[in-house]
A and B are shown apart, each in its own frame.
Chain A
Amino acid sequence: MSQESSHQRPDFGRETALRGPFVFFFVAALVWLLAASALGLIAALKLWMPSFLNCEWLTYGRVTVVQKNLFIYGWATNALLAVNLWLLSRLTSFEFRNGWIAVFGGLVWNATLIYGVQQIFAGFLNGFSLLEMPREVGPVLAIAFLLAGFWPVVAFARRPSGHTFAAQWYVVGASFLFPIFYLIAQLLVLWCPASGVVQALVASWFVQNLLQLWLAASALGIAYYFIPKVLERPLAGYYLATVGFWTFFLFAGWTAPATLLGSPIPVWIQSVGVVAMVMSIVPIIITAINFHGTFAQNGGWANAWNSTSLRWVALGTISFTFVGLLRAIFYTRGYSAIIRFTEFYQGLDHLLVYGFVTMVIFGAAYFILPRVTGALWPSVKLIHVHFWSVTLALIVSTLVSLYGGYQTGLDLSKGAPQMIGGGKAHVLTAAAFLLGHAAFALNALGLIFRGLTSAENRQHD
């Protein structure tokens, strides 16, 4: 143990300052992850056996909505707040002294989330995807985010050297933009609703921004950091990263109308959405060159596979490239006409939010948690259980959603609608996700507990 702490000595001060906020956000994220996975299993069971858990609070509509909100605002956002803070403090040598402000913001965020979720269960929900929580939640969440999640921007603004790195750009961009588009969406959708179709347009714009400019952008920052860091080599084609960054942020906000193809919004707005969706291939190609090009050199794939953390990041980047190409193809008019009312697009969103963002967060957690807490992972078996159950569940659920959705679309366009298939498969994958997440949470909580007790011991020494 003494050898380890001397090994960590250079970073020790910074890491201990970060320990409180990081552990707080990560434990909150874990709790929400377990809650969301349990609700995911309930929702899948209800789709299969509608009379399961037959009470008003647990109707399918409310359960899926709460599950989605908890997964994104509870799990992914809490975890990204923790990882973004850690990443930017490391990259800018930022002395984070105001941990209590972040923790206070985190407390407000999670308390508000509990209130919002309880309101949804009670039936007070809005009809806009990911804005379902009652509107009084919006401003509070925005302020809580500013307290908890704006620190990467502060760290970036106060960086000592002029050099910057792609990981910083994405994390700073994401942390900077989230409060802005969240507040705009709250204002134009819930508080002073824009008239007519503009409201629906803003709501879909918000969803795309949330998925891409907050979740995916943060995860891109994490990937840009861990790949060269763990492989100990510079990124391939790094000079392209600037173009990738700007095109990603430019086109992501414009993609929303493509999700509304065929609805009564002016046709030029729909076309702009399709163009943005297709042009998003530019950052996809560049990040693919940066990530996969680096993995392809000198046995990088094998190294990534053998690293507990980089394995997740590598899988996540593959998902990102894949989902980017699929979005560019299947959000065009011809395909949209076939699959717009099926689970195909849910499958794509799932591949982005889970296959990319969540996988990358897992990778970051396996790297950061031992370093922040100074403890080791209690069980290697649980790591394997986590990896395999989650990876297989991701592959199967994505294939079922994409293939099943496409088949349903073909049936619908032939005028022969059928019962949506894949119900049993979704129950199995939801159970596998829950199993993997339980293994991860058990392992991580054990590690955090160990770290905290050993830290106390160290203080006594």
Chain B
Amino acid sequence: MNDRHRQPDRQRSEGTSDGRLVEIHAQIAREKEEPREGFSLTPIFIVFLFCGFGFWAGLYLTRNSGDFSASAFDLDVPKASASAGPAVFEPDAAKGEKLFVANCAACHQATGLGMPGAFPPLAGSPWVAGTDERMIKIILVGLAGEVEVKGAKFNGNMPNIGAGLKDAQIAHIATYVRSAWGNQGEPVMDTKVAEVRKALAGHGQFSPQEILKAHPLEAK
């Protein structure tokens, strides 16, 4: 009745019957393990390709996931804060106390009172109050000569303890000293220490006259 029209699908047979379709493909799926003549290289190539994708995925996730932190929202931010981590310096008197005990207390004593006639006290000393540069300089390169602290004279020889310490460590120590034993000085930043260290490059031990000329003791 419609022979005039071209009806390609209707004129051809139904195609593979549905039962046969399922059967053939089930058979192919079963037989995949059996070794055959003319084994195709495609499967092994595909396995390597997919492994390559998996490798890339792991790499990408490790590098671009912001340590899976819930607060990292942008790729650039976590990197910036990681490199800026030490730069955000918090002067910490508790760390300073430990460093003080290890590096300074042998002479100045853990009480900060020093040894009468040998080592000047730090507690209540005008030398550690006021500007922090004086103190940083002394820690960095040392001080040799007769000094007067709280009415007592000391003729000591402080070595350049600070040469073996990091900027941040010196800042912690200075912060501790300036806040312990009733002292009331401002905290010290590591950038300040770095600045002073740079300015003092090659400088030997200070004499009391030199350091007091640069930084006279502030009257309380």
Tell me the A residues contacting B by CB distance below 8 Å.
Answer: 1, 90-91, 93, 161, 163-166, 168, 225, 228-230, 232, 234-235, 237-242, 264-268, 271-272, 274-275, 278-279, 281-282, 285-286, 289, 306-309, 333, 366-367, 370, 376-377, 379-380
**Max chain B C-beta neighbours (<10 A), residue from A166, A275, A278, A307:** A275
The answer to whether B159 has its CB under 8 Å from any CB of chain A is: no
B25 touches A267 (CB 8 A): no
Q: How far is the CA of A240 from the CA of B47 in the complex (A)?
A: 11
The answer to whether B35 has its CB under 8 Å from any CB of chain A is: no
Q: How far is the CA of A90 from the CA of B49 in the complex (A)?
A: 36
Main secondary structure of the interface of A (DSSP, over half): helix
The answer to whether B7 has its CB under 8 Å from any CB of chain A is: yes
A278 touches B56 (CB 8 A): yes
Cross-interface CB contact of B21 among A93, A165, A237, A366, cutoff 8 Å: A165
Of the listed stretches B72-80, B83-91, B93-101, B185-193, chain A binds: B72-80
Knowing A239-B29, A275-B57, A282-B53, the reply to whether A234 touches B64 (Cβ < 8 A) is no
**What's the nearest-Cβ distance from chain B to residue A88, in Å?**
11
Q: How far is the CA of A269 from the CA of B171 in the complex (A)?
A: 40
**Max chain B C-beta neighbours (<10 A), residue from A232, A278, A307:** A232
How many B residues touch the partner, as a band?
A: 35 or more
Q: How far is the CA of A279 from the CA of B60 in the complex (A)?
A: 12
Of the listed stretches B10-18, B135-143, B176-184, chain A binds: B10-18
A267 touches B60 (CB 8 A): no
Knowing A1-B1, A242-B29, the reply to whether A267 touches B9 (Cβ < 8 A) is no
**What's the nearest-Cβ distance from chain B to residue A324, in Å?**
13
The answer to whether B164 has its CB under 8 Å from any CB of chain A is: no
5 residue pairs, one from A and one from B, having the closest CB atoms: A163-B26, A268-B65, A239-B32, A267-B66, A271-B64
Q: How far is the CA of A309 from the CA of B6 in the complex (A)?
A: 13
Chain A residue nearest in CB terms to B40: A237
A268 touches B72 (CB 8 A): yes
Q: How far is the CA of A272 from the CA of B23 in the complex (A)?
A: 39
The answer to whether B214 has its CB under 8 Å from any CB of chain A is: no
Knowing A91-B18, A279-B53, the reply to whether A370 touches B9 (Cβ < 8 A) is yes
**Max chain B C-beta neighbours (<10 A), residue from A240, A267, A275, A309:** A267
A238 touches B25 (CB 8 A): yes
Q: A241-B29, A307-B12, A376-B1 are in contact. List 20 more A-B contacts (CB 8 A).
A: A90-B18, A93-B18, A93-B19, A165-B25, A168-B22, A238-B28, A239-B28, A242-B29, A266-B70, A267-B65, A267-B78, A268-B72, A271-B61, A274-B64, A278-B56, A278-B60, A309-B9, A333-B75, A377-B5, A380-B6
